Amino acid sequence: MNPFSTILEKNTLTGPNFIDWLRNLRIVLNSEKIGYILETLVPNPLPEGATELQQTTFRKWEEDDMQTRCYMLASMNNELQRQYEKMGTAKDILLHLQELYGEQSRIARYEISKELFRTRLTEEADVSVHVLKIINMIERLENLDFSMDANLQTDLILQSLPDSFA
């Protein structure tokens, strides 16, 4: 067994953890040099009289897609496995999962960012606790694939302070 596959064993897809699961899946697929399966379009069926190179390329894609599907299914909980085991390609599975769980991530990003942009330090509150709270929200957003550069992070912290800190 590939040592990277233990990553997927420890990060079984349950639904709400879709973003983390996908990140770990990509690590494993890239280590196997088949990560392209999730990024490329499904090839068209081969035409009559396809060249040997076309046939070889198509068979390679089919094998890599099957291996990708196996990694995906093996790293899902039993309920999700049953739902996806008959689905055609790895790309089909991924697109369906993104429809289901990507929206939950979008809602979570919205709620966290709303809280982040509205957070203000009160005069009597502890500054270090306040800054740690903001850093925690920024890290939670990064876990949902929403990154901010360091300058914006600093600006958000400074803007959350009362005018007495000017």
> 24: closest CA among 71, 63, 61?
71
Global pTM?
0.63
Residue 147 identity (one-letter amino acid): S
Q: Decide if 32 contacts 3 (C-beta within 8 A).
A: no
Residue ranges per structural domain of the chain: 1-101, 119-166
Alpha-carbon distance of 39 to 77, in angstroms, equals 24
In tens digits, the chain (166 residues) has pLDDT values of 556 667 777 889 988 788 889 999 999 999 999 999 999 888 888 989 999 999 999 999 999 999 999 999 999 999 999 999 999 999 999 999 988 887 667 777 888 899 999 999 988 889 999 999 999 999 888 877 788 999 999 999 999 999 888 7
Question: In this structure, are residues 124 and 164 in contact, taking their beta carbons and an 8 Å threshold?
Answer: no
